[in-house]
A and B are shown apart, each in its own frame.
Chain A
Amino acid sequence: GAGVSQSPSNKVTEKGKDVELRCDPISGHTALYWYRQRLGQGLEFLIYFQGNSAPDKSGLPSDRFSAERTGESVSTLTIQRTQQEDSAVYLCASSLSAGQETQYFGPGTRLLVL
């Protein structure tokens, strides 16, 4: 079956522009996670959804970051007024439920802010 997909795979944008990143989780997975990975660094938790609700938004770095999920399926991560330090790989993962511990990752979106 299909795994987690993300789009776009690569995004180059200019400082100050808004970007929207998309994640399609595995069908039937109710939990969805967003992470950021800067070059040579570990994964930084951003936010997770259980269904369409986001119980924990503590990882979002600033109010320029927001995320939504609809239909217990697709999620979008939006970064407004991008800064150069936002350049990173943004990874999405899903699991059957928040209590189901195996996460399946998508290939990521590589964001470069010039």
Chain B
Amino acid sequence: RKEVEQDPGPFNVPEGATVAFNCTYSNSASQSFFWYRQDCRKEPKLLMSVYSSGNEDGRFTAQLNRASQYISLLIRDSKLSDSATYLCVVRLNTGNQFYFGTGTSLTVIP
């Protein structure tokens, strides 16, 4: 069983739309949670960490549900520049290995 699972998509949404991605993790010992963004043929870059209380950064909102072991990312007012693959990442409370999901592809259409 994979440590982190994501719907690969693709999600194709019009500009201005709101889109949400979910990610589930299998290990209850997971301690830290992140969303990374990866553009085509580029390296991943940290988008935001995910805190237990939920957190917001501009148009982006991340939430964590420990009971159900999933995290979510909400993007409001989608821009063309939001087109990318969004990677869900978790780290266990033991060791320092990060587990990456396979990513969810988003294309924002004009």
Taking CB atoms and an 8 Å cut-off, the chain A residues in 65-89 that contact chain B are none
- Minimum C-beta distance from A12 to chain B (A): 16
Collect the chain B residues with CB atoms within 8 Å of residue A50's CB.
96
Return the CB mask of A75-108 against B: 1 if under 8 Å, else 0: 0000000000000000100000011011111111
How many pairs of residues, A versus B, come closer than 8 Å at their CB atoms?
47
- B46–A102 CB distance below 8 A: yes
- A103–B98 CB distance below 8 A: yes
- Count the A residues whose beta carbon is within 8 Å of the partner chain — how many? 25
Collect the chain A residues with CB atoms within 8 Å of residue B96's CB.
31, 48, 50, 55-56, 98-99
- Minimum C-beta distance from A108 to chain B (A): 6
A62 contacts partner chain B, Cβ-Cβ < 8 Å: no
- A103–B100 CB distance below 8 A: no
Are A101 and B97 CB-contacts (below 8 A) given A42-B102, A107-B42? no
- Complex partner residue of A41 from B42, B95, B102, CB under 8 angstroms: B102
B73 contacts partner chain A, Cβ-Cβ < 8 Å: no
Residue of B at shortest CB range from A105? Answer: B43
Are A42 and B87 CB-contacts (below 8 A) given A33-B98, A105-B45? yes
Q: Which residue numbers of B lie inside 8 Å of A, CB to CB?
A: 32, 34, 42-46, 49, 87, 91, 95-103
